[in-house]
Amino acid sequence: MSCVIMGLRSGSKGVIGKNIRPLCGKPLFRWSLDAAIKSSSVRNIIVSSDSCEYLDLVRGLKKVIPLLRPKNLATDQSTDEEYIVHAIDYFGDTIFNVNCVIIRACATSPFQTSQDYDILVKVLTSSTPGKSCMAVAECGVPMEKTMILDRNNNLVTTGKQSRVIMPRQKCSKLFKRSNLIGIRRDDFIASRSLALLPAYPVFIPKERSIDIDTEHDFLLAQMLLTHYIDNSININSFSSWSYKDI
């Protein structure tokens, strides 16, 4: 059995009302939520929010179970693990039985597809070496070309670079999380962590790896979705895959 948990916190400061802000005809969070609803591998979807107003938006939706969480689990410092523990404690084995696969979904990822959810469940219900499973997308910049600031605000390498400027073909690939993280129930309960390493990758094309955190992100997502809708482009054509599919 699989259960998706989506955090739908109110009070966003970077983009006001971000999670429920309209995006091409529906609230931002509904894009990822609708993909989970369409997934044949997802049985239950818990939407955890500190806002009764937000939860009213999901009541009556297929598979969706609204859950009001305490305000102290919905601060800027609150972690995803905290509201997932709250959900497990609240529902117990009724939803989170011993064979349950938990998938943390993001309200701010409008390009997630039902295929993404299906593949994560498939990976976690089979024998894989990873302790968790993450949807990832290749970064536009390889590790060898990245730098950080030290305590003196000087640029330094992250440890992978050489002093020679390497050609792109010889650089190692760098990946970023694309917001879906899956883990087996018992592993989560034992560790209280979603992102256990080593993790098994599910690869998401860069065209679908946008996570909305700023007004610029929102504008970019709106432009892309409008382009896809106007030109009848199905975002499922930008398919995800894992090594299990090879």
How much is the pLDDT for 164? 58
pLDDT, tens digit (0-9, with 9 covering 90-100), for 212-230: 999 999 999 999 999 999 9
Q: For residue 27, is pLDDT > 70?
A: yes
Higher pLDDT: 99 or 49? It is 49
Whole-number Å distance between alpha carbons of 181 and 104: 5
Among residues 111, 108, 107, 100, which one has the least CA distance to residue 43? 100
Residue 218, Cβ neighbours under 10 Å: how many? 19
Measuring CA to CA, how many Å separate 38 from each of 32, 122, 207? 10, 15, 21
Q: Which alpha helices (H) appear in the chain, and where do they start and end?
A: 28-38, 52-56, 80-91, 114-124, 185-191, 215-230
132 in Cβ contact with 188 (< 8 Å):
no
- What residues form DSSP beta bridges with 23? 26
Mean pLDDT of 180-184: 95
d(C-alpha 63, C-alpha 68), whole Å: 17
Band of the pLDDT at 131, cuts 50, 70, 90?
confident
Hey, what domains does the chain have and what are their CATH numbers? 2-139+174-245 (3.90.550.10)
Question: pLDDT tens across 136-153, in order?
Answer: 998 888 877 788 888 999
Contact between 112 and 105 (Cβ < 8 Å): yes
Neighbours of 141 (CB within 10 A): 11
**By C-alpha distance, which of 77, 210, 59, 185 is closest to 132?**
185
Predicted pLDDT at 222: 95
Can you tell me which residue has the tokens 């536009």?
Answer: 140
pLDDT digits (tens, 9 = 90+) for 163-173: 556 677 777 78
What confidence score (pLDDT) does residue 238 get?
Answer: 81
Mean pLDDT of 14-18: 85
pLDDT at position 246, please? 43
Two tokens, residue 133: 């499973």
